[in-house]
């Protein structure tokens, strides 16, 4: 088995490597510290699984995950995050990740999560699973405006909040600048923001910039 571990903290990568090789002694673990390095390693080695942090020097949050999803194809990705938020986990599962595990649960659950992914299934911790069930069961209740965005609209919103120009967003998402404008207009309408400045403040206020 070959696993790609992408995290900018060496101590975290070491811990993940030890957990994996403790369960699968013959496993090959490739370690990288950026999304760009993860993409290069994936192309070169084609791992069976990817363990991916959401915050690295060249990317933060869902956009970096989206880039890896596009590259990985059918290879399952386990997002390994410090954020224990059901809304974020749900968004990433909707985008196509195979699992979501918070770092504080790694010792107890990482091996279980990877086994589940190897079996072709999905994984979230029991704590997050309960939150997700509650969230899905209360869909009729009042929801924050950003929770009504589509995955593409959500990506555009975060890229705008990160200060990306429309042309850069179009290139990153591999869509036309006109489509970026359409997603932006829908996002402004759904969030009630008038411009990019207000949209950026909205993201900060709701903790959507994921800069921790």
| Summary count for the chain: helices (H), strands (E) | 10, 8
Residue 118 lies in a domain: yes
Last residue of a domain, one of 105, 137, 169: 137
**Beta-sheet pairing, 59-60 with 55-56:** antiparallel
The answer to whether position 182 is within a domain reads: yes
pTM of the model: 0.73
Statement to judge: residues 200 and 129 lie in one domain: no
**173 and 129 inside one domain:** no
What total of structural domains would you count in the chain?
2
Range of the domain at 32: 2-137
Q: Residue 3 and residue 140: Cα distance in Å, rounded?
A: 40
Tokens of 152: 């593409």
Within a domain: residue 57?
Answer: yes
Which residues, 6+ apart, have CB-to-CB distance to 119 below 8 Å?
A: none
| Residues 177 and 125 placed together within one structural domain of the fold | no
Strand partners for 59: 56
In terms of domains, do 122 and 157 share one?
no
Q: DSSP label at 197?
A: H
- Give, as one character, the DSSP assignment of residue 73: T
Q: What is the DSSP string of 128-148?
A: HHHHHHHHHHTTTS---GGGG
Residue 16 lies in a domain: yes
123 and 163 belong to one structural domain: no
Q: 53 lies in a domain? A: yes
- Tens of pLDDT, residue by residue over 190-210, are 999 999 999 999 988 877 765
The CATH number of residue 51's host domain is 3.40.50.2300
21 and 89 fall within a common domain: yes
Give the integer Cα–Cα distance in Å for 18 and 13.
9
Point out which residues pair with 60 in neighbouring strands: 55
Output the six-digit token pair for 211: 């800069």
User: What is the model's pLDDT at position 132?
Assistant: 66
Q: Is residue 210 part of a domain?
A: no
Within-domain flag for 115: yes
Task: Name the domain boundary from 77, 111, 137.
Answer: 137
Please indicate, yes or no, if residue 75 is contained in any of the structural domains. yes
In the predicted model, is pLDDT for residue 71 greater than 70? yes
Q: Is the pLDDT higher at 136 or at 28?
A: 28
The whole-number pLDDT of residue 212 equals 37
Helix ranges restricted to H, 55-195: 62-72, 86-95, 106-118, 126-137, 151-161, 166-173, 177-191
């Amino acid at each position: 088995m070959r696993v790609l571990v992408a995290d900018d903290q060496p101590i975290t990568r070491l811990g993940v490597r030890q957990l994996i090789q403790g369960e699968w002694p013959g496993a090959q673990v490739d370690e990288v510290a950026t999304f760009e390095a993860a993409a290069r390693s994936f192309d070169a080695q084609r791992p069976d699984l990817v363990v991916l942090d959401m915050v690295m020097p060249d990317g933060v949050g869902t956009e970096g995950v989206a880039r890896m999803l596009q590259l990985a194809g059918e290879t399952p990705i386990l997002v390994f995050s410090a954020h224990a938020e059901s809304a974020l986990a749900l968004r990433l599962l909707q985008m196509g990740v195979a699992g979501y595990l918070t770092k504080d649960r790694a010792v107890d659950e990482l091996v279980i999560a990877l086994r589940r992914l190897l079996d072709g299934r999905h994984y979230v911790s029991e704590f997050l699973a309960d939150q997700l069930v509650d969230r899905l069961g209360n869909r009729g209740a009042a929801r924050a405006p950003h929770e009504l965005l589509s995955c593409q609209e959500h990506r555009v919103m975060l890229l705008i909040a990160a200060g990306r120009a429309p042309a850069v967003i179009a290139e990153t998402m591999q869509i036309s600048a006109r489509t970026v404008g359409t997603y932006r207009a829908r996002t402004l309408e759904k969030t009630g923001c008038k411009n990019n400045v207000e949209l950026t403040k909205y993201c900060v206020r709701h903790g959507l910039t994921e800069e921790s």
